Chains A and B, each alone.
Chain A
Amino acid sequence: MNLQRLRIIIRKEFIQTFREPRMRFMMLLPPLIQLLVFGFAVNLDVDSAKIAWMDEDRSPQSRELLSQFEGSGRFIIAATPASEAQMQDLLDRGRVDGVIRVLPGFARDVERGRDTSVQVLLDGTNSNSASIVSGYAGQTIARYASQVMNQRQRDKLIAGTMASGGAITAQIPRVVAQTRVWFNPDLRSRNYFVPGVIVNIIMLVTLSMTAMAIVREKEIGTMEQLMVTPIRPAELILGKTLPFVLIGFWDMILVFVASLVIFHVPFAGSFGLLCFAALLFILTTLGAGLYISTISKTQQQANMSTFLIFQPFSMLSGFTFPIRNMPQVVQYFTYLNPMRYFLEVVRGVFLKGSGVDVLWPQLVALGVMGVVVLSLAVRKFHKHLE
């Protein structure tokens, strides 16, 4: 290993990557755009559900229920259909997430103390938001129900005590839930997703750039020229990969700063630990990029392979879809997924402020994987060069 030759090849790589103004743009802009789009778009919260209010009773009681819905802050009354056909049309066009339908006779039943019901019709196309909206609607109606119930109990008790002539004992036991949410008290999904973007961007950038940079030399034929220079394989590998380690780190810092400044994601942990974990993680992605470059002849092939690797690893990392929900077999597979560990570290450090004492298993896994993958890839690359 000759440091001077190494420096030269790194310099060449940087010049090549940043020579074209357009390429400079391409290196730095996509991560930022990805972060913005991810940060703003990736959101599974249902802040306000658009519902249609179909009141076939038109009574003070149904208006009281309507004001419960309006007052909850979770619903926007987007339409008031008058007929079943109109309601059907609203749901077909996806204009509303659901319809609350009060049937005729609602007020009469409430007044006479008979049990009654309110229809909630949901558009189940998006199953996730449908189940959240269903929960909100159920809670709102339950709140109204408990008002009615309190009223009735009071009436009954008063009637009962007046009949018996004793004292009024209006105490009825109640059980209430006191909920405290840890780490992300407002339940903002942005706090959960934005840190995860770091993982995706580092993976995508380092994997695809390494693979393509090497394959390009092969495709254009400059690899042969490199081979006839005194540069040794180890220097070539290091020189070809180090620039992308730096670009990966640059992207990480960019995303980190943006998530604090633009998205106000709380950062509870240690930045040093985050960088260390990123370094361990990049070992694996560089190894994988190197490996792809040995099996690809054209940049298109390298591209396809990168995506073929990136997609499943990203989807099975727990980024959007919780690992807990996956079938058992797939859960075992995720133990081999470096993105899973890095994601756990990033989220732990950001949201929970966890330290090495909690995250050491993830760090060990990342380290072991990085060393194994990278050394296998380097060996394969050596053979490939010879």
Chain B
Amino acid sequence: MNLRRTFAMARKEILHIIRDPRSLIAAFSQPLLMLLIFGYALSLDVDRIPTIVYDLDQTPLSDALIKSFRGSRYFNVVEEAKGYHPIDNAIDTRRALLAVVVPTDYSRNLLEGREAAVQLLVDGSDSNTAAIAQGYAEGLILTFAQQTRENAQSMRTGSVIHIPVEARVRVWYNTDLVSRDFIVPGLIGVIIMIIASLLTSLTVAREWENGTMEQLLSTPVRPVEIAMGKLAAYFLLGLADMGVALAVAIFVFHVPLKGSPALLLVSSCIFIFGALGWGIFISASQRNQLAAYQLGTLTSFLPAFLLSGFIYSIDNMPAVIRAIALFVPARYFIEIIKGVFLKGTGLRILWFNLVLLTAYAALVFYWATSKLKKKVA
């Protein structure tokens, strides 16, 4: 490998990038847009569940239960129904997710010391929200029931019985359970993969399609130098993107960075190198930009988004998919970045991920150059 020729190649590629300001702007606005949307707009936290109540009992006792729904910040009572039909309608049109129905015998059962049932109807179509909403509603009724029991008990025996064993929950790392702190660090890994698949995967295919590859081949530049030069140019772009993303995460969203910034930087560089190497490998294997693009999205964006543990936890996937996920490099990077950001873990725990990423980067670069050599020959 000749440094001067590699440098010339990189310069040519940088000029290409600069002369296409629209792609350049897109390369920066894409990550920013994703960060802003994920950071500001998207959340899996469930609160203010739209609730419709139907009180058939109409007594002070049933009113007390409904009041406790009104008072909770997890529920937002949108309507008081006068029958089952409005409930059907509200759930069908998605005005309400949950219906609380108090049956006619509710207060009589309570007063006579029998079991009083409260009906909960949940729209299960969004299973995640439904499961959480159901948990909150049942929890609220449980607490309410325990209070009722305590009151009845103290009236009867003159002494109060408390709940004997309670769960004392402490959350580590992301103490307030903010989904933003969980999503944004992982998103940085995904963004790098997108840059790799969208920009890099087309660079070599475009030279073939436009016929400029032949011109390049007639110069003394060698395949390794082509690969290295192209990679270097996009590496700068990727690094800049990374810097922007990190800055937004830390300064705009105040995601706490508990671990070492140096570890973050080193592993980012290795990951970017590997991701771009993969993009060049794809590009070298396809002569058609549309095909290169399809293959790029399929092999880098999709796994990085879905199989990396970025949002969807890998442990919940079926065994086959878990096995595939073992080969998704973004997964190891996202483990590093989440560990460093949220847990403050260091090399003691993350060294193996770093070794894997390095091996991946080296292997992919080797593949890319040998693929290029073969195509050229």
Task: Note all chain A residues with C-beta closer than 8 A to B110.
Answer: 173, 175
A182-B123 contact, Cβ under 8 Å, with A47-B316, A172-B152, A322-B129 = yes
A46 within 8 Å of B by Cβ?
Answer: yes
Segment of A183-191, A235-243, A283-291, A367-375 in the binding face: A183-191
B148 lies within 8 A of A173 (CB): yes
B125 within 8 Å of A by Cβ?
Answer: yes
Q: Mark B336-349, 1 if CB is under 8 A from A, else 0.
A: 00110011010001
Q: Mark A352-371, 1 if CB is under 8 A from B, else 0.
A: 10100010000000000000
A279 within 8 Å of B by Cβ?
Answer: no
Distance in Å: Cβ of A337 to nearest Cβ of chain B? 12
Task: Note all chain A residues with C-beta closer than 8 A to B349.
Answer: 92-93
| A interface residues, tally (CB under 8 Å) | 116
B131 lies within 8 A of A45 (CB): yes
Distance in Å: Cβ of A182 to nearest Cβ of chain B? 6
**CA A126 to CA B171, docked complex, whole Å:** 11
Segment of B5-13, B135-143, B243-251, B362-370 in the binding face: B135-143
B166 lies within 8 A of A182 (CB): no
| Contact among A26, A121, A315 with B290 in the assembled complex (CB-CB below 8 Å) | A26
**CA A149 to CA B145, docked complex, whole Å:** 13
In A284-305, the 8 Å CB interface with B consists of 296, 298-301, 303-305
Task: Note all chain A residues with C-beta closer than 8 A to B130.
Answer: 181, 184, 187
Q: Mark A13-25, 1 if CB is under 8 A from B, else 0.
A: 0000000101100
Task: Note all chain B residues with C-beta closer than 8 A to A42.
Answer: 306, 312
A34 within 8 Å of B by Cβ?
Answer: yes
A191-B127 contact, Cβ under 8 Å, with A34-B302, A41-B306, A126-B313 = yes
Distance in Å: Cβ of B297 to nearest Cβ of chain A? 8
A156 lies within 8 A of B157 (CB): yes
User: Residue of B at shortest CB range from A115?
Assistant: B162
In B19-37, the 8 Å CB interface with A consists of 20, 22-23, 26-27, 29-30, 33-34, 37
**CA A106 to CA B290, docked complex, whole Å:** 65
B148 lies within 8 A of A175 (CB): yes
B41 lies within 8 A of A131 (CB): no
A176-B145 contact, Cβ under 8 Å, with A44-B312, A188-B127 = yes
B120 lies within 8 A of A325 (CB): no
Distance in Å: Cβ of A202 to nearest Cβ of chain B? 15
User: Residue of A at shortest CB range from B128?
Assistant: A44
A92 lies within 8 A of B343 (CB): yes
Task: Note all chain A residues with C-beta closer than 8 A to B178.
Answer: 127
B144 within 8 Å of A by Cβ?
Answer: yes
Task: Note all chain A residues with C-beta closer than 8 A to B288.
Answer: 20, 22-23
Segment of A225-233, A251-259, A306-314, A378-386 in the binding face: A306-314
| Contact among B37, B46, B294 with A30 in the assembled complex (CB-CB below 8 Å) | B294
B43 within 8 Å of A by Cβ?
Answer: yes
| Contact among A124, A128, A177 with B120 in the assembled complex (CB-CB below 8 Å) | A177
| Contact among A41, A171, A352 with B312 in the assembled complex (CB-CB below 8 Å) | A41
A172 lies within 8 A of B312 (CB): no
Q: Mark A122-164, 1 if CB is under 8 A from B, else 0.
A: 1111111111101101110110110011001100110010000
Most buried by A among B22, B27, B48: B22
**CA A113 to CA B339, docked complex, whole Å:** 42
Main secondary structure of the interface of A (DSSP, over half): helix
| Contact among A148, A186, A300, A325 with B202 in the assembled complex (CB-CB below 8 Å) | A300
Task: Note all chain A residues with C-beta closer than 8 A to B168.
Answer: 117-120
Task: Note all chain A residues with C-beta closer than 8 A to B174.
Answer: 124-125, 127, 130
Task: Note all chain B residues with C-beta closer than 8 A to A322.
Answer: 44, 46, 126, 129
Distance in Å: Cβ of B282 to nearest Cβ of chain A? 12
Q: Mark B45-65, 1 if CB is under 8 A from A, else 0.
A: 110101000000000000001
Segment of B111-119, B217-225, B270-278 in the binding face: B111-119
A184 lies within 8 A of B182 (CB): no
Task: Note all chain A residues with C-beta closer than 8 A to B91.
Answer: 182
Distance in Å: Cβ of B327 to nearest Cβ of chain A? 13
| Contact among B20, B124, B202, B325 with A185 in the assembled complex (CB-CB below 8 Å) | B124
B182 lies within 8 A of A311 (CB): no
**CA A130 to CA B113, docked complex, whole Å:** 37
A330 lies within 8 A of B313 (CB): no
Task: Note all chain B residues with C-beta closer than 8 A to A10.
Answer: none
B315 lies within 8 A of A187 (CB): no
Task: Note all chain A residues with C-beta closer than 8 A to B65.
Answer: 175
A189-B127 contact, Cβ under 8 Å, with A178-B119, A179-B120 = yes
User: Residue of A at shortest CB range from B344?
Assistant: A92
A212 within 8 Å of B by Cβ?
Answer: yes
A321-B44 contact, Cβ under 8 Å, with A185-B124, A347-B125 = yes
**CA A172 to CA B311, docked complex, whole Å:** 45
**CA A61 to CA B35, docked complex, whole Å:** 49
B291 lies within 8 A of A145 (CB): no
B182 lies within 8 A of A128 (CB): yes
Distance in Å: Cβ of A128 to nearest Cβ of chain B? 5
User: Residue of B at shortest CB range from A17?
Assistant: B290
Distance in Å: Cβ of A121 to nearest Cβ of chain B? 5
B161 lies within 8 A of A134 (CB): no
A138 lies within 8 A of B164 (CB): no
A351-B118 contact, Cβ under 8 Å, with A300-B199, A301-B20 = no
A246 within 8 Å of B by Cβ?
Answer: no
| Contact among A40, A120, A126 with B170 in the assembled complex (CB-CB below 8 Å) | A120
**CA A38 to CA B33, docked complex, whole Å:** 23
A270 within 8 Å of B by Cβ?
Answer: no
Task: Note all chain A residues with C-beta closer than 8 A to B306.
Answer: 37-38, 41-42
B358 within 8 Å of A by Cβ?
Answer: no
Task: Note all chain A residues with C-beta closer than 8 A to B126.
Answer: 192, 322
User: Residue of B at shortest CB range from A128?
Assistant: B44
In the assembled complex, 9 residue pairs joining A and B whose CB atoms fall closer than 8 Å, in A order, are: A23-B291, A26-B290, A117-B165, A118-B168, A122-B172, A132-B131, A149-B149, A183-B125, A316-B42
Chain B interface (Cβ < 8 Å from any Cβ of A): 20, 22-23, 26-27, 29-30, 33-34, 37-38, 40-46, 48, 50, 65, 91-94, 109-132, 134-139, 141-142, 144-145, 148-149, 152-153, 156-157, 159, 161-179, 181-182, 194, 198-199, 202, 206, 209-210, 286, 288-291, 293-295, 297-298, 302-303, 306-307, 311-313, 315-318, 320-321, 325, 335, 338-339, 342-343, 345, 349
* 8 other A-B residue contacts (CB within 8 Å) besides A129-B313, A322-B44: A44-B312, A115-B162, A115-B166, A128-B182, A137-B169, A142-B142, A169-B113, A179-B138
Listed from nearest, the 4 A-B pairs whose CB atoms lie closest are A124-B174, A171-B113, A184-B124, A175-B145
